[in-house]
Structure 1
Amino acid sequence: MAMHKRAGIIGVGSAVPERVLTNYDLEKMVDTSDEWIRTMTGIVERRIAAEGEGTSDYAIRAGRIAIENAGLKPEDIDLIILATFTGDTPLPATACIVQDSLGCKNAPAFDLAAGCSGFVYGLAAADAFVRSGHYERILVIGADLLSRVTNWTDRSTCVLFGDGAGAAVVATVGEDEGFMAFDLGSEGSGAKSLCIPAGGSRHPYTPEDLAAHRDKIYMDGREVFKFAVKIQGEATERVVAKCGLTTRDIDLVVPHQANIRIIESAVNRLGLPMDKFFVNLQKYGNTSAASIPIALDEAVAEGRIKRGDIVVTVGFGAGLTWAAGVMKWAF
């Protein structure tokens, strides 16, 4: 078995719903305002999946585009990793539905649950699989329909979330390209700060849970904000140092698109100009595991990333978890 290969991204894709939900729409639903949402989050609008659609619908679209952009056929993919916590059903893994629909007949498939950090966790896993020689061409997808688990009566959270999917094909690349380092972590003591309280094996749904919206996302906004502001900068500094680089070597940071104030805190901590950060949260809000791959796809389309660039991806989310990665862009 071949060892010590270099792995990197060779194709990206994304898919978002057609329906747009603006801040002005939310003003009619809860006690909030466009000015407050923009000031506190930077979000202007978000995309909402149509009734009857599932996470797999968008994962399939994003995955198909990524495979095509990588110049591959579905049967060339030999593993699928789907980062999500809003699968179509609790069982089976939604990755298996994606595998069948895409025609990736040679690929085993599994879901990965790390909240908004999930896509970068998936990249780290794919990197290890390719470098070890176990798999050669891996489709990593981040997809979530947060509208399905949002309490639309809670003005503190419903303004934040949207739906979508993004994907990347990870494969062997040149010796001086691809993934350089990862920094993954968890702080389980903060598990209850961002969670869905009911619906699992410990607390199955009851009618009372449904009435109290305990089947929807609960977030301690203050605690999650403090964690995110701290860890985003720290993880970025650590992962860059692992490569023997400094923040001055970074060409573009693609952060989790949760809140503009969190991104601005990283700008200040890292001493980088704002134009070194790719931001599209104003259009989509927080799409959880989909946010970084959607941003990567748009950054490539806009010419913000070119071959040889040093790109940092960094996310944080439920768990509490974080994940940062450094790569030299390979296409």
Structure 2
Amino acid sequence: MSDVAVVAGLGSWLPPRTVSNEQLCARVGGSAQWIEQRVGVRRRHVVSPGEATCDLAVRAGGRVLRAAGGAGVDAVVLATTSPDRLCPATAPEVASRLGCGPVLAFDVSAACSGFLYGLAVCAGLVSAGLATRVLFIGAEAFTTLVNPLDRTTAAVFGDGAGAVLLRGGTLDEPGALGPFVLGSDGARSDLLAVPAGGSRQRSRCGLGHDGHVPDADWYLAMAGPALFRQAVVRMAESSRTALDRAGWSLSDVDVFVGHQANLRILDAVSERLGIPHERVAVNIGRVANTLTASVPLALVDAVVEGRLRPGHRVLLCAFGAGPTWGATTLVWPEIPTAHLIGSGAVSRSTGTHAAVHD
């Protein structure tokens, strides 16, 4: 039987700097209570000046590798929507800073669905025999792409990184990634976008344009209501398909880990699927929407809180800009967990996030 990708490690990192709703509203106006009620966010972690996506990815990836005993990897894959630079990719620098050597390394870009897309890509590397151990990281310094004076978007997003170690294994063992469901609808690409910075804007400037780019174009533009509707439909549909392909029923799902975009989206998706609230992993209140880092950060918190345990059947699902979406399943394995507390995970004793430098 060909190797399949099996989850063998998990880790996370959140930048120590936090911004509460009260602090945000002091800058942009509005109500802290309204943000929590409409989005589900109470605070978010944000990068400090000079800190970038690569720094967060190295922190999260390093924790996973150390927990795994420092064993080497054949590939480093980074899912991100906020790379350090347009060119080159950020993953090779992450691999270098982690001491991984001249391994295969590249970025994956699928916005908030990036972690699901990246998992599928990594599974393909393993199945094709290109790698036997893959470090896969979802990392974002996305608040650098959000207008700090735009209350609508500034309230939603935060920064962070989550990582998994994948190895080759067999389909019948815990941790094996199940069938993937992935999709996109580029006809709706303007629903969530950063207009400036790419070849389209640069091409206009080079063809007689006066070179001026409106300030707003450098920041995220979001059509919230339309995204909400699309997210609920696509996440529910892809989840059902992934469960069907895995041979599971909805009642088999012990923990549903959906992208933490908006608490109302999570509630609507779980309601459509008929998954009870107590089986839904939720941490958006403490970390906000961290895009590609969202799913692994939610996994970390669920493990530390004791809600996700070995043997549990897990449904993963996400929706993001593009629009893109994806889902997959796995049975949660036995993996090292002692390093998770204090790495951006929820502390059992306080119920709050601790982000410590090491």
TM superposition score normalised by structure 1: 0.95
* 1:156-211, Cα deviation, whole Å (9 max, x unpaired): 111001100000011123541211111100011110111011111110278742x5
- Provide closer, same or farther for how the CA distance between residues 313 and 175 of structure 1 changes in structure 2, counting only shifts above 3 A: closer
User: In angstroms, what is the RMSD of aligned CA positions?
Assistant: 1.4
Decide whether the 8 Å contact of 2:255 with 2:308 is kept in 1: yes
Name stretches of at least 5 consecutive residues in structure 1 with no aligned partner: none
Q: What is the CA distance between 1:299 and its match in structure 2?
A: 1.8
Paired position in structure 2 for 1:4: 2
Report the secondary structure of 1:89's partner residue: coil
Decide whether the 8 Å contact of 1:12 with 1:67 is kept in 2: no
Q: What is the CA distance between 1:306 and its match in structure 2?
A: 2.2
* 1:290-328, Cα deviation, whole Å (9 max, x unpaired): 111111122222222222221111111011000111112
Paired position in structure 2 for 1:38: 36
Report the secondary structure of 1:181's partner residue: coil
Paired position in structure 1 for 2:264: 261
2:195 maps to 1:197: yes
Mapped to 2, the partners of 1:136 and 1:63 lie a distance apart of: 17
Paired position in structure 2 for 1:179: 177
Report the secondary structure of 1:315's partner residue: strand
Paired AA for residue 158 in structure 1 = A
Report the secondary structure of 1:29's partner residue: helix
Paired position in structure 1 for 2:327: 324
- Provide closer, same or farther for how the CA distance between residues 258 and 175 of structure 1 changes in structure 2, counting only shifts above 3 A: closer
Mapped to 1, the partners of 2:121 and 2:141 lie a distance apart of: 23
Q: What is the CA distance between 1:44 and its match in structure 2?
A: 0.2
Q: What is the CA distance between 1:106 and its match in structure 2?
A: 4.6
Decide whether the 8 Å contact of 1:93 with 1:111 is kept in 2: yes
TM superposition score normalised by structure 2: 0.88
Decide whether the 8 Å contact of 2:2 with 2:170 is kept in 1: no
Counterparts of 1:1-331 in structure 2, within 5 Å, are 4-73=2-71, 76-177=72-173, 178-204=176-202, 208-209=212-213, 211-331=214-334
Paired position in structure 1 for 2:354: none
Mapped to 2, the partners of 1:330 and 1:174 lie a distance apart of: 13
- Provide closer, same or farther for how the CA distance between residues 7 and 148 of structure 1 changes in structure 2, counting only shifts above 3 A: same
Name stretches of at least 5 consecutive residues in structure 2 with no aligned partner: 335-358
Decide whether the 8 Å contact of 1:233 with 1:270 is kept in 2: yes
Mapped to 2, the partners of 1:248 and 1:195 lie a distance apart of: 36
Decide whether the 8 Å contact of 1:7 with 1:173 is kept in 2: yes
Mapped to 2, the partners of 1:328 and 1:70 lie a distance apart of: 20
Q: What is the CA distance between 1:31 and its match in structure 2?
A: 2.6
Mapped to 1, the partners of 2:229 and 2:38 lie a distance apart of: 14
* 1:199-251, Cα deviation, whole Å (9 max, x unpaired): 11110278742x53211111111111111111111111110011111111111
Paired AA for residue 162 in structure 1 = G
Report the secondary structure of 1:308's partner residue: coil
Report the secondary structure of 2:167's partner residue: strand
Mapped to 1, the partners of 2:283 and 2:237 lie a distance apart of: 22
Decide whether the 8 Å contact of 1:95 with 1:111 is kept in 2: yes
Mapped to 1, the partners of 2:11 and 2:95 lie a distance apart of: 16
Q: What is the CA distance between 1:60 and its match in structure 2?
A: 0.3
* 1:33-82, Cα deviation, whole Å (9 max, x unpaired): 11110110110000011000110000001001112233342xx1101110
